[in-house]
Structure 1
Amino acid sequence: MSTQQGIPLTNGEVPKLTFDDYSAYEAEREIATPHGQGSLHRSSDARRRTTATPAVRSSAQRLNKKSIDCSVRDPADQLVRKIVSTSQRLENHVKEDDKDEEEQEEQEEGLGHMLRTSGHRHADTRVKHFWTDDILARTMTKPCIVGELQSYQRENPALFATKSIDTVAEDILKYRRKIFAVLALIDKGACIEEVIAEGLVDKDLPLHTDESSSLCPLFRYGANSTARKVNCFSRIGWKTLHRETFLTSQYAMSPQFLGFDPDGCTPKHEEFSAREILPIIEEQERQQGGYGVIQKIKLARASHGFHNRLRLIKTDDEFALKRLLKNDAVEFRREAKAGGRFNGFVCDHLVTLLMTWTLNGQYYLLFPLARYDLEEYWSHYRSPQVSPGMARWMLKQIVGITAAVEYIHDPSGSQPADILGVPDGREYGRHGDIKPDNLLWCDSPTDRRGIVVVADLGLATLNSVVSRTQSNTKARCAPRYKAPEFNIKGFKIRRSCDVWALGCVLIEWVCWALEGNDARLQFLNDLFQTFPSGSQTDLYFEMERKQNKLVHVTVNQAVAKVRRPQRLLLVPALTRSQKAARLHRSKHCTQLFHDLLWLIQEKMIVVRAENRISAHELHVELKKMTEKGERDSRYFDAPCESLREVTLPLPLQAEFYIQEPKREAISQFQLGVPH
């Protein structure tokens, strides 16, 4: 026997084992024990790097051809056996890897992969994706479906023996596109023949289950509302998990379509179940107010019918969604009723309620998206440029807002005298909370400067002709902008309280236009005063208790200078900024702004409610101002001095008796301490 260095064999030959032979052995050890495990789990790239060496393959072939009779007791013999075994296993492993990668690539190019990459990503990560009809139509074409069916047939040649693949594809396109999409997503697409045989179609969706059963059986409802079990989803190969997944995934193929009632303008109401999917693809910026949480959302374009529905308000894919804080059905119906009656279809400058729904016991209202409220608009554009274009736009918005208030006050379009009379069936409204926060700036398709609309109509109340001026102890209003009558117990709350509030907003708007937002904020600071209760308030009026249960009310000294007429018990001295007078003297004040200030001082911010101008009369006055500007452009662009003194209605102060016989009744809660 040869003693040549090497591995001794029975025939005396010693095989020449190269470095690659040992590399193959080491590679096997590395593959067999990844991360301390005994399974063959490595990336395809790592396997290829290890096994692609030609020397390894040739060594395996060379060793396999040898007639080796090794002694089990010889360590060298054991090494040779391991090398041969390793080479064979590596060859098989390479073939299996190539086959797995081909199958993975084929699967990634299949219908399930295409659906996952084409669907809308839902704002709620628990939902993940949903598919609108237009996406299904683009993705699930006939060639795509035919290719998917052919892949099933390659795996199981017995499929589609009675019907051609082309026929099955046509059937899917016509009747079962959504069902087949769900099946493809859960890797059950090969069951489509059984679905066709059972007669299950997309119109049967959504399928339902027996919640009391742990096996999740699926049922469909026929025309007579009788439940029929879907047997094809209970056969061999279908597990409870598959049925549960189908039950959930089917809703992703039919997201809810949001839109108006069939008349195209009435807000529709829906009650959605927890499983149904709303087509929301983005959620942002939650803001909480006194009555609800408002959130900016974006809807999938093909899933709503609000495109260009309003003439002056841009309705694209972004909306404002309001969720009521209290799950109060009465409050919800009241706000929905107001939104349905007062909207942009009857008046361009009213916010439009688009739709309402309930979900998980909570109430939702959908509106067009407003970029700012008026307070935010003033803060964003802190130093406006007083140009003729801006002045025209501002007057146009004020006219529109007044028209909206006029419509709320009298939806019938008539303006009877403000006295009690015989009921005639007409209803009269009152907004009750006019303030900058409830005047919203929206994008407009017709005006690059946008449009301002009246919002938060949930506070709007409707009264008959008899009750519209009766006492309302539940009347609500933002403290700063509420009229004096809100603070007198038993005083009749009239529609004119909206005119007072609008006058307060307008003087702030003029201040912003002529002096900028910083000056407006300083003016609001100047409004602060001591109320009869001892608290500090920023109301537009002042109240002082006198003897004999009298309450003397005057316009806040910060607003206007008051001449001292005779026969008045109390007239405030001029001690603060007297904003109206300063605005008249502004170097930017054109005749438009003079007229606005006169109108505000003389007819809107008037203490006695019965002496205020009505919304209808105010609308007429503002339209006259528009006509002036159309006749003479200098009305908007030529600064000038005030041509006359302000004529204030007498008395500026009002005297109200507290309607309570007991002396102790004159207290801070009767005077309506601001809250």
Structure 2
Amino acid sequence: MSGQKRVLDNELRRIRTIVNLPSFQDFPNKDDLTTRIYYGSINSDSNPLLKLLAVLIGIDKLQDFPKCIKEGMDDGCLPMTVENPNDGTTPLYCERHKAHHATIDSFRRPNDRIQFTQWSYSKHSHYRLHASDIFPMPSGRKLQKQETLKQDITKKEVTRREMTKQEVAVQGNKPQITEGAFACGGFSEVYQVKIDKSHQRFEDIGIRHPEELFALKKLISHDRDDFNMELSSLLFCMDKSIVKKADNHIIQPLATFEVEEPAVRGSTYYILFDWAEGNLNDFWEKNDHLVGARDHCKWMSREFYSLCLALECVHNERKETLKSIDENKLEKNLSGRLHDAKSLYGRHGDIKPDNFLWFVPPQLPPPQQESQLALSDFGLGRLHTKVSRSNQDPRNIARTETYRAPEFDLNNGTISRASDIFSLGCVFLEYVTWFMLGNTGLTEGFPAHRSEPDIYNFESDTFFSIREQQPFLKESVKSWIKQLQGHENCSWYLHQLLDIIRDKMLAPDRKNRIHIGELIKDMDLLRQACERNDSFYLKTKGES
């Protein structure tokens, strides 16, 4: 029996057990009801009822599930919306039926009703497979680290065990899969795969690639705790991003796979994501036509605001996730180094252009302004593994990174969420540089302008300098910002954005750096100004 068949049978069996309860006595055909809950009904154009069932079980209202079915409710009704959030009663409105549902509105506790507005698609499916199971994924294209989609590769098929190999073998005419490592590091590998529409049903979660391509992330660690840390981080962030309406700006897990590997006496873990067009560097390379196009600034204002919301989801999620993780274990993984484990884990930890993914939703036509950027690579497992494998001080984690904050180079520097803010300021400043000066200014002019010897006497293109164990924003960075503010395409929006970047995000002393909550307010004010007044982003100070 294949792994997929086993998982499917187990899920249907659980649903069948539920519908045998007394609450479902009005449904004589239990098999039909089980099928309807899991698959929906083709004849009546009804969606599945799994999400609705899960919410009702979660709030201990399973007995009301039959009433919801009779009212015509299904998973298509979720999430519901609060019709008037200010009246205190929180009546819920179904966008699908353009109406209220009496059963839901009858729940007296607001906390019960609110669950129907916060339904998260992160209640993903987890599949347990054996090494010999075949998973049908037709071929994509092979990529190596830092490469772009250029080279077609032969369609081949592999078993789950063979997916760990770089070479694959054809297995007759069975379902096909091609793999190619997109990014291989010490912590995970990512493969581009293509899944036929008949083998997936992700509904409106995530951002579909127009060619139905997906990214399959394989964790190097076979430790279940590492997998749980990685996944819990992703799911918590996804939940929070949905509530904040920033879910299209944070990478979302679609499914997970656990493949039993007798050879390692454990399992190999995979996480499935949508495939992106590329990262922010790719966006800059392929969108020269947007350089200097002032109407692009309105899109920038929305994206920068949403990306700040996404980062806040990561920061807030850490508080929740760390509650369920043994702090002693965290400290042990730091090999006894004197450092605050919660501060170290309580951040994204790797803000850089490579970790902002670029999506082009297939349902949206050109121009490229309709692209979307999403924050990625924030799993706790990566931080966990990265620190535990290092024989150096945690400050050395990002020693070679252009976007690192000054506290990494200070003897008593504290790494925290504020470190992410500095790194984000670096990325935002690079974005403005690209917009005004193009790729040459971004990749050659700006790095050369700020390059100078660091505390180790190596040429460094970081944004700060250290003198007598005191951090400073480089004078070259300040002069670069001043140059940008005097550029002919520097609108009111960009001028104020650069002020925030210089004075608040790139503050060298982390204690003076803006908090993510305040940064969101600033970015929202800029966004609203662009929405209300076109001249704010279309005109410069000299043109007013």
TM-score range, shorter chain: 0.5 to 0.7
Structure-2 change in CA distance of 1:520 and 1:590 (3 Å): same
Structure-2 change in CA distance of 1:450 and 1:514 (3 Å): same
Runs of 4 or more consecutive aligned structure 1 residues displaced over 6 Å after TM superposition = 460-463
Distance (Å, rounded) in 1 between the aligned partners of 2:420 and 2:258: 32
Hey, which of these two has a bigger chunk of helix by percent?
Answer: 2
Distance (Å, rounded) in 2 between the aligned partners of 1:429 and 1:443: 30
Residues 1:355 and 2:218 are matched in the alignment: no
The answer to whether the 8 A contact 2:230-2:379 is kept is yes
Residues 1:392 and 2:287 are matched in the alignment: no
Partner of 1:89: none
User: Among residues 377, 401, 407, which one is paired with 2:283 in the alignment?
Assistant: 377
Higher relative contact order (CA 8 A, sep 6+): 2
The answer to whether the 8 A contact 1:382-1:518 is kept is no
Partner of 2:374: 453
Residues 1:554 and 2:477 are matched in the alignment: no
Distance (Å, rounded) in 1 between the aligned partners of 2:184 and 2:405: 22
1:393-447: CA deviations, max 9, x gaps?
1111100000111222224999xxxxxxxxxx9x994111111000011122457
SS at match of 2:123: coil
Structure-2 change in CA distance of 1:391 and 1:409 (3 Å): same
TM-score scaled by structure 1?
Answer: 0.47
The answer to whether the 8 A contact 2:395-2:408 is kept is no
Distance (Å, rounded) in 1 between the aligned partners of 2:380 and 2:490: 35
Partner of 1:297: 193
Partner of 1:664: none
Residues 1:320 and 2:241 are matched in the alignment: no
User: Among residues 345, 353, 357, which one is paired with 1:440 in the alignment?
Assistant: 357
The alignment covers a number of residue pairs equal to: 345
Residues 1:513 and 2:435 are matched in the alignment: yes
1:328-339 matches, within 5 Å, as: 328-339=223-234
Distance (Å, rounded) in 2 between the aligned partners of 1:270 and 1:409: 29
Partner of 1:152: none
Structure 1 position 292, deviation (Å): 2.3
SS at match of 1:365: strand
1:651-670: CA deviations, max 9, x gaps?
xxxxxxxxxxxxxxxxxxxx
Distance (Å, rounded) in 2 between the aligned partners of 1:475 and 1:617: 29
Query: Given residue 341 of structure 1, which amino acid in structure 2 is its aligned partner?
Result: F
Gapped runs of 5+ residues in structure 1? 1-126, 134-261, 415-424, 464-471, 545-549, 561-577, 644-675
Gapped runs of 5+ residues in structure 2? 9-118, 144-180, 262-266, 321-341, 385-392
Residues 1:526 and 2:444 are matched in the alignment: no
Partner of 1:180: none
TM-score scaled by structure 2?
Answer: 0.58
Partner of 2:242: 345
1:181-220: CA deviations, max 9, x gaps?
xxxxxxxxxxxxxxxxxxxxxxxxxxxxxxxxxxxxxxxx
Partner of 2:202: 306
Query: Given residue 472 of structure 2, which amino acid in structure 1 is its aligned partner?
Result: T
Query: Given residue 470 of structure 2, which amino acid in structure 1 is its aligned partner?
Result: H
The answer to whether the 8 A contact 1:499-1:613 is kept is yes
The answer to whether the 8 A contact 1:429-1:462 is kept is no
1:216-262: CA deviations, max 9, x gaps?
xxxxxxxxxxxxxxxxxxxxxxxxxxxxxxxxxxxxxxxxxxxxxx9
1:153-232 matches, within 5 Å, as: none
Partner of 2:408: 486
Structure-2 change in CA distance of 1:263 and 1:379 (3 Å): closer
Residues 1:540 and 2:457 are matched in the alignment: no
Query: Given residue 287 of structure 1, which amino acid in structure 2 is its aligned partner?
Result: F
Structure-2 change in CA distance of 1:404 and 1:264 (3 Å): closer
The answer to whether the 8 A contact 2:358-2:374 is kept is yes
Residues 1:583 and 2:484 are matched in the alignment: yes
Distance (Å, rounded) in 1 between the aligned partners of 2:543 and 2:383: 40
Structure 1 position 474, deviation (Å): 6.8
Partner of 2:419: 497
Structure 1 position 328, deviation (Å): 4.4
Distance (Å, rounded) in 1 between the aligned partners of 2:381 and 2:493: 31
1:500-519: CA deviations, max 9, x gaps?
00000000000111111110
Query: Given residue 301 of structure 1, which amino acid in structure 2 is its aligned partner?
Result: K
User: Among residues 365, 369, 373, which one is paired with 2:271 in the alignment?
Assistant: 365
Structure-2 change in CA distance of 1:459 and 1:556 (3 Å): farther
Distance (Å, rounded) in 1 between the aligned partners of 2:401 and 2:500: 23
SS at match of 2:139: strand
